[in-house]
Amino acid sequence: MAISINSFDISFLSYMQENGELRFSDTVSVFPGKSIVGLKRSQSRINYYLPDDKNIVCAGNAFHCRINYKEYANFISAITLNKYLSSEHERLTLILFYCFLYGTVNTSKLYQDIGVSLSTKKKDLKVLVDYLSQFDLHVEIINRKGIRIGGNELAFRILIMKIIASICELNQLDQFMPRIANNPYERLMYQGLSGDKVVQSVRYLDTFNEILNQYQLNLSYPGKKLLLIYLMILEKRLTIDNTQLSLPAMRIAFPLQPVLNSPAENVFINHFINSLDHNYYKVIYIDIILYRTVTQFVQSVQEKMITGISHHRELYDEIYIYIQKCIIRKTYLYDVPDVNLPKTQKHYPGLFSYVEDAITWTEKLYTVRFDKNQIATLSLILKKFIINSKMAGRNRKNIAIVTTSSIEKVKFFAANLRCYVDIGDCFNVNINETYKLEDSDHFLTIVFSNRISMLLQDKNIPHLKINYYLQPTDIDKLITAGLSSNINRKINAEDFSADILNIPRKDLALYLQEKYGDHFA
């Protein structure tokens, strides 16, 4: 009898691939609720399918593993449906997704196809009913066909959007492609998605490009991906009767652009676009109440800090944009998860606690709850402005960062990096957009993870892997790679005098902020 792999086994192996080691003393923080005995059982199941020289081993009160990302991806792709032990959540996700694709689902046949008992199906359906109730959704029985999902149309679309986002990526032409590390259930869902007539027609791609061009949106990769997925879902759902949207109250004021014809659809798509990550986002309209709330938040944090924060207008604008995004996402019950953010509290405990305290007023006013990742991101935004007072350099070189992380997180890293080495522009490139590296004028490509490093290596793209939270060894690597040290760097007096000699008095402040923004607020 073959040994079955489950989703936790994959998560455990993913962690070992990225980190190489897991000390027994760290297991509680890394995998809450899992004991050493439980991890050893997972280790045995994984080792059953790994070659002997790549096994996870226990030595010195720690787990060790030498597997790389390519071997990890091969491990997952070799797991077939009959070797995979699904979780309750994965089975419910499959039902929801199939209800989206096909309208109705014969759950008895579905469970037979995936090799799960009918008694388990009965238990799952009871859990599904309870799960859907929190989104104002319900299960409807359709005679001789199976079940379908009814209720809050927008909530259903958002649930499906999150599922699709977890199983696919975009290629250079903004077309869907499967995620490399999809497990058997995710591969099953992507197979159904790719065969769907609406997806194959790609009419939603025309709408997507029209919106980007007409409203001059400069969305990041995650932003583009979510907008494209939503427009695809919208096109498919509009072919179904009774898909009227019921929108929750939004307590932030927005100017509404005429993006879609239906009033309710247009309101939501405007809110949704404002909630996405943009490479460049200029605040053109301010909700006065929210801006006052942001001002109070920043001042509350600053009162507890010794170090001042420069560039106040820029800081307020960036905090405003991020808090606005969080409120919209919380209102519509979706989010964009990020990696490494849980470590922010460890690296900046004081600032994290200040932010956590200061944000409570915003939470009460807008009846939302900011999670740890959002508090961490706000902390990084503030920290970026704190450390932006570094010395101006003389040997700046542009860098590119290949990552799946949010804009806010990359901006913080660039600001932190400038404390140690001289860099100019910092280009943020998603791992699915590596073709952009060919067109960008940069000196060095930086990555944070083994997975991305392996993918770039396969494409023969030179790069340097360092830690997101910089260590002394990382600074040595950067200097060895050719970046100039920023320690004790000063502005050259002659160069500075020559620069400002012919600048009119009325333009001088703006010039100094633009060229020497690290020094002048």
DSSP secondary structure string for all residues of 181-194: T--HHHHHHHHHHH
Q: Say yes or no: domain 397-481 is CATH 3.30.565.10.
A: no
CATH fold for domain 5-85: Arc Repressor Mutant, subunit A (1.10.10)
* Mean pLDDT for all residues in the chain: 89
pLDDT above 70 for 518:
no
CATH fold for domain 288-387: PTS-regulatory domain, PRD (1.10.1790)
* Beta-bridge partner residues of 58: 63
Q: Alpha-carbon torsion 454, 456, 461, 462, what sign?
A: negative
- Percent of the chain topping pLDDT 90: 67
- 490 Cβ contact list (under 8 Å, min separation 6): 391
- Using alpha carbons only, what angle is made at residue 371 by residues 406 and 307, rounded to the nearest 5 degrees? 75
Most confidently predicted of 109-123, 337-351, 371-385: 109-123
pLDDT above 90 for 141:
yes
* Beta-bridge partner residues of 151: 137
What's the Rg (C-alpha) of the chain?
25
Q: Among 36, 52, 51, 38, which residue's Cα sits nearest to residue 9?
A: 38
Residues 395-441 have pLDDT tens digits of 678 999 999 888 888 889 998 898 888 888 898 999 899 999 988 88
Residues 330-360 have pLDDT tens digits of 999 888 766 656 678 888 888 999 999 999 9
* Beta-bridge partner residues of 401: 428, 446
Calculate the CA 268 to chain-centre distance. Answer: 21
Residues of the chain with CATH 1.10.1790.10: 288-387
* Pairing mode, strands 137-142 and 84-85: unpaired
The pLDDT confidence band at residue 393, using thresholds 50, 70 and 90, is very low
At residue 210, the pLDDT reads 96
Name residue 322's amino acid: Y
The number of beta carbons lying within 10 Å of the beta carbon of residue 334 is 19
Residues of the chain with CATH 1.10.10: 5-85
pLDDT above 50 for 75:
yes
Residues of the chain with CATH 3.40.50.1860: 397-481
Taking a C-beta distance cutoff of 8 angstroms, is the pair 62, 19 a contact?
A: no
